A = this chain, B = another copy of it.
Amino acid sequence: MTRSALTRDEVLDTAAALVREHGPAALTMRRLAAELGTAVTSIYWHVGNRESLLDALVARTVADLGTIRPRGATPAERIVSVARALRRALRERPHLVAMVHERGLTERMFLPAQRALVHEAHAAGLRGSRAAALVHAVQFQVVGHVLVERNRERAPAQPPAETDLWATEPTGLPAPDPELARALAAPVDTEAVFLVAVRALVAGLLP
């Protein structure tokens, strides 16, 4: 039994599935060929080479992040809702987002959300460069936060643990209050940090 004709879309689908299920390292040309049931070299006819294949996958991911719909009564709430929606969308595609990041296209991916932010900044009464500043600040904030967050999740157990570091004081600094020490030693609630930061940023930049 011979397989039906290979198509570029089929190659991309299978490659995306491979990345989603086994991570980017599993996406080798030989493994992809095995998965497709074709010779390795057939893939080259359809997608050029590995580099172009990754480019195409990344372009797909960017396209997948559809329009962001702001929710809430006030402009501040609506801006925060855009930030939260974007964070969630990014977190649902960890491997692919990492690939987008590696290829320097993180900002391109952010464009639909940027449109929504422009709209809200305008509605809030911000004009010109002050509006642009808000848009860029939120953009950097959200993307940066997601990158840091992903980083934390992959982090190995890190000796010395933060707990130890804050239990023994370095010379020259006054001991922080016990509650602060406890708060710093506990695992970080990244969602809470995200909300606190976005709200403070928006409050600081809206008129």
Contacts and interface: CB of A to CB of B under 8 A. Distances in A.
A148 B143 contact: yes
Contacts of A122: 174, 176-177, 180
Contact of A154 (B104, B128, B162, B174): B104
Contacts of A147: 101, 143-144, 147-148
A207 interface: no
B179 A108 contact: no
Describe A's contact surface by its main secondary structure: helix
A173 interface: yes
Contacts of A149: 140
A12 interface: no
Report how many copies the assembly holds: 2
B152 A107 contact: yes
Nearest to A135: B184
Interface residues on A, range: 35 or more
A119 B173 contact: yes
Interface of A: 101, 103-108, 111, 114-115, 118-119, 121-122, 127-129, 131-133, 135-137, 140-141, 143-149, 151-156, 158, 162, 165, 170, 173-174, 176-177, 179-180, 183-184, 188, 190, 192-194, 196-197, 199-201, 203-205
Given A140-B148, A140-B190, A144-B145, 7 more contacts: A104-B151, A104-B156, A107-B152, A129-B183, A132-B180, A135-B184, A199-B204
7 contacts: A106-B148, A122-B174, A127-B179, A132-B184, A140-B197, A147-B147, A201-B201
